Amino acid sequence: MKTFDYVRPTSITAAVAAAAEPGSAYLAAGTNLLDLMKGGISRPDRLVDVTRLPGLDGIEPLPDGGLRIGALVRNADLAHDPEFAQAYPAVAEALLSGASAQLRNAATVGGNLLQRTRCGYFYDAASACNKREPGAGCDARNGENRLHAVLGWSEACIATHPSDFCVPLVALDAVVEVEGAGGRREIPVEALHRLPGTTPEQESALQPGDLIVALRLPAEAAAFSAHSRYLKVRERTSYAFAVVSAAAALRIEGGTIRTARLALGGVAAKPWRARAAEDVLAGASPDEAVFRRAAEAALADARPSGDNAFKIELARRILVRALTVAAAGTPERVPALPASPFSFGPGVRHDV
């Protein structure tokens, strides 16, 4: 591992100033960053430890009915917060389906939002990767790519975004608060991550020194709590990233879908909001036929980036399944295997 400097600022302003220096990286739990450093993939000159910054570890209701979550809140603490789990069950289910319990106990909300792709060529320093080294090429294009992107990819990069947490956040119009050199601003989670285009190394809308200080869920997001689910297909039911995942949130009134919110994971370099599918569902009866039409609309622009055409049909099917279980109603208990489409046994209460 490359030698690096280590600083622990005592204020957000000092942290932003320190991280604005070239070669700097923020350190919270480090569940992704330290792995990248050990493998020589990330080689920062300076780590800016933000774990002791005050005011970033709280969960607080907002006057308008929304919820503000500090960037240093642990994933496990958020998923098991009773009020949070009841109001945003799909988000809690996504959190509980990610990684192992040990990692969820350590990982932070802010770090989860910014975790980097798990593409094997990105992690292999001997492989060509435009994301790691701009202009080097993309060995994934003609390599082992069955798990790579089918939406929004380019010839420069076909990697996918790995987060479960971000998928329902995008569906529910969550926003991040960012502190930077110019002060505080807001970025919708949907706009936080970038598609690769010709600059895959530019993974997010953040500027040097920018620090995510909080995540906000709007009051409207809780209106979907009665019909809200997250489903995830993975090669191993535990401790694996999504091959394909889907978040579905519905407002059903009088037997009709008033509003739908949908997003897909594992299909692109960012969580993919399926707005065309939402339009198909609005005003329709919640049945399999309309769910299938919505799934077709969601994947209308999908195309294989390699040996992964199967992911397009798989994404359609998991979206139909997610809509079906969401329409049936949010269960009182989280499934024993959270987010697994094959788990129908007894689970644990949301408020445990």
The half-sphere exposure of 208 on its side-chain side, counting CA atoms within 13 A, is 9
Within a domain: 65: no
Within a domain: 286: yes
For residues 147 and 160, is the Cβ–Cβ distance under 8 A?
yes
Within a domain: 169: no
> What is the residue type of 85?
A
Within a domain: 321: yes
pLDDT score, position 351: 41
Within a domain: 121: no
Alpha helices in the chain (DSSP H): 12-19, 33-38, 75-79, 82-87, 89-96, 101-106, 109-113, 120-123, 166-171, 189-192, 275-281, 288-298, 310-328
Report, in angstroms and rounded to the nearest whole number, the Rg of the chain calculated over CA atoms.
20
Q: How far apart are CA 172 and CA 193, in angstroms?
A: 16
What are the respective helix, strand and coil percentages of the chain, to the nearest 5? 30, 20, 45
| 310 Cβ contact list (under 8 Å, min separation 6) | 146
* Burial grade of 312 (CB within 10 A; 0-12, 13-18, 19 or more): middle
DSSP states along 205-258? SPPTT-EEEEEEE-GGGGGGGGGEEEEEE-SSSSS---SEEEEEEEEEETTEEE
Q: How far apart are CA 204 and CA 11, in angstroms?
A: 24
For a pLDDT cut of 90, what percent of the chain falls above it?
91
pLDDT score, position 239: 78
Cα three-residue angle 263-243-123, rounded to 5 degrees: 110
Q: Which residues of the chain have pLDDT under 70?
A: 344-352
| 104 Cβ contact list (under 8 Å, min separation 6) | 74, 75, 76, 79, 95, 96, 98
pLDDT score, position 236: 85
Q: How far apart are CA 232 and CA 240, in angstroms?
A: 10
Tokens linked to 213? 């200080």
What phi, psi does 282 have (nearest 5°)?
-60, 125
What phi, psi does 59 have (nearest 5°)?
-120, 115
Range of the domain at 43: 1-53
pLDDT score, position 332: 86
Q: What is the CATH number of the domain that holds 309?
A: 3.30.390.50
Q: Domain tally for the chain?
A: 2
For residues 299 and 312, is the Cβ–Cβ distance under 8 A?
yes
Within a domain: 187: no
For residues 32 and 179, is the Cβ–Cβ distance under 8 A?
no
Give the pTM: 0.95
The DSSP call for residue 163 is -
Within a domain: 207: no
pLDDT score, position 348: 41
Count of residues in the chain? 352
For residues 66 and 217, is the Cβ–Cβ distance under 8 A?
yes
Q: What is the CATH number of the domain that holds 20?
A: 3.30.43.10
Q: What is the pLDDT of residues 303-324, one digit of tens each?
A: 999 999 999 999 999 999 999 9
Within a domain: 210: no
Residue located via tokens 């620090």: 211
